[in-house]
Structure 1
Amino acid sequence: MEHCIVYFSSSVGQFQEEDLDTILQQSRRNNARLGVTGMLLYVRGSIIQVLEGEKETIEALYKRIEHDERHTNVSIGINRPIAQRLFADWSMGYETITTRQLEEIKAIVDVDNRQESEVDSQEPIIFKTLKVFYQGNRYN
């Protein structure tokens, strides 16, 4: 059974473009080796990352991320089995998002209470999160 972890964190300081390039290259290489897929969203020091794969693998990866000195305030928004991967072809997709989009995503995933909002409870939370991201970017 596939598993998904979505977490929020803050970077220690603002990442520069070369910092992000280094992180992405390393993540893509490691994730491909581990069979992990996902997406990284970044805006002015705030991070949302989706990790998909075997449960033990992504839980171990999350623990490493949680202790990575480049992150603070690491908090899980989603930690659950999934029927299929949404990012099966991406060892690590990457996008920057606006501050407004980040707040909309945080409103959908209640980070403090670790539960889904009441909005359309039949729709998987990962779809809701990505829908907000898509809607904010489709005309940009």
Structure 2
Amino acid sequence: MLVRLMYASRAAASMDTETLAAIMKKSRAHNPQVGVTGVLCHSGGIFLQVLEGGRLPVSQLYNRIANDPRHHDVALLRYEEIGERRFAGWAMGQVMMNMLNPALLLKYSERAELDPYAVSGEVSMALFDELVASASVMCQS
């Protein structure tokens, strides 16, 4: 049984590029072993992530994230059973927010900034779909 889970969280401390790169490296090493794929956005101290895979591995990973002291205000935005993955090509893809056209964010929210707390899970998923379609996601594994 495949599932897709989307959550948002706030970084407990300032997140520099080295720390984010270490998180991505660990995700890309671990996720294939448990069959998890997905995409991560990070901007302004906010994480927005989609995880896909088997129900148990995705749930276990989400629970680790929710209990990780580097995150707070962890909010489950969407959880669904799926017939196929949208993000199968990424052990963990990363949205390059610094290269993103602000108009794309304005299409889905009031301001040109990532704020999944201010929009629905459905809107956040539409944003992810458009990011993938526009090749704004990098680091395929």
TM-score, with length taken from structure 2: 0.76
Does structure 2 retain, via aligned residues, the 8 Å contact 1:37–1:91? yes
Identity of matched residues, %: 31
Whether the 8 Å CA contact 2:3–2:52 is kept in 1: the answer is yes
Look up the match of 2:127. 129
- The SS at the match of 1:79 is strand
How many residues align? The count is 124
The alpha carbon displacement at 1:79 in A equals 0.8
RMSD: 2.5
The C-alpha deviation readout for 1:30-65, integer Å capped at 9, x for no partner, is: 101111000000001000010000011100110000
Partner SS for 1:102: coil
Aligned to 1:29: 29
Q: 1:96 to 1:13 in 2, by over 3 A?
A: farther
Match of 1:79 in 2: 79
Q: Spell out the pairing of 1:1-140 with structure 2 (5 A cutoff).
A: 1-97=1-97, 100-103=112-115, 105-109=116-120, 116=122, 126=125, 128-131=126-129, 133=131
Secondary structure class of the residue paired with 1:20? helix
Distance across 2 between alignment mates of 1:107 and 1:133: 19
In 2, distance between residues paired with 1:78 and 1:71? 18
Give the distance between the partners of 1:74 and 1:136, measured in 2 at CA: 27
Q: Measure how far apart 1:26 and its partner are.
A: 0.5
Measure, in 2, the Cα distance between the counterparts of 1:51 and 1:65: 11
Unaligned runs of at least 5 residues, structure 1: 111-115, 118-124
- With normalisation by structure 1, the TM-score equals 0.77
**Within 2, Cα distance between the matches of 1:101 and 1:7?**
17
> Is the 8 Å Cα contact of residues 109 and 129 (structure 1) preserved in structure 2?
no
Q: How many angstroms does 1:73 deviate by?
A: 0.3
Which SS does the other structure have where 1:19 is aligned?
Answer: helix
**Unaligned residue ranges in structure 2 (runs of 5+):** 103-110, 137-141
8 A contact 2:95–2:131 mirrored in 1: no
Asked if 2 retains the 8 angstrom alpha-carbon contact of 1:101 and 1:136, the reply is: no
CA–CA separation in structure 2 for the residues paired with 1:73 and 1:88: 27
